[in-house]
Amino acid sequence: MKLIILDRDGVINQDSDSFIKGPDEWHALPGSMHAIARLNQADYTVVVATNQSGIARKLFDMATLNAIHQKMHATAQQAGAEIDAVFFCPHIADDSCDCRKPKPGMLQEIARRYEINLKGVHSVGDSLRDLQAGFVLGCVPHLVLTGKGQKTQEKGGLPPGTQVYPDLAAMVDALLSSQQEHAATS
């Protein structure tokens, strides 16, 4: 199985410092759905791993989060893309849970659900905590400069081997072209 893990806000959709609190605030980033469709066409199973502390902060409830994700899935389907599953952490940092990135609990749950070792699995995020959560489990880290990505790159401290791209579409272009080159030389 070829699995790829994407952060949501700032990678797939526009981010907001005041949180995405409803479906009307959720807007796909240009090219992100087409990029996911291209991953699907290359036999990737696409999953989302996202911190959603707005639930613990009482900015929105589970029904609203589900409605946001329904809009994301519908938008993906309109582009011929499929997001297989969405994993989320509803906690704030003070809750000391294991699932809030940069802790690896959410990604460990993905590994259990798909019965896969995450070593070598590509993980895409716009913040350091996105990259750290996967890196400790052997994921290949990719930073996109959308969302908080530009600030994340400027702060530095990225996990070793992090590759940086302008957006998800550019990351997918690079990934798929490197796989085609590898297949051609094999």
Active site residues: 7, 9
> Residue 163 contacts by C-beta under 8 Å, 6 or more apart in sequence?
140, 141, 142, 143, 171, 174
Nearest to 147 by CA among 125, 121, 131: 125
In the block, which residue shows the tokens 């579409």?
169
* Rounded distance between C-alpha atoms, residue 126 and residue 14, angstroms: 11
Taking the C-alpha atoms of residue 118 and residue 139, their distance in angstroms, rounded to an integer, is: 6
Q: Which residue's structure tokens are 């959560």?
A: 133
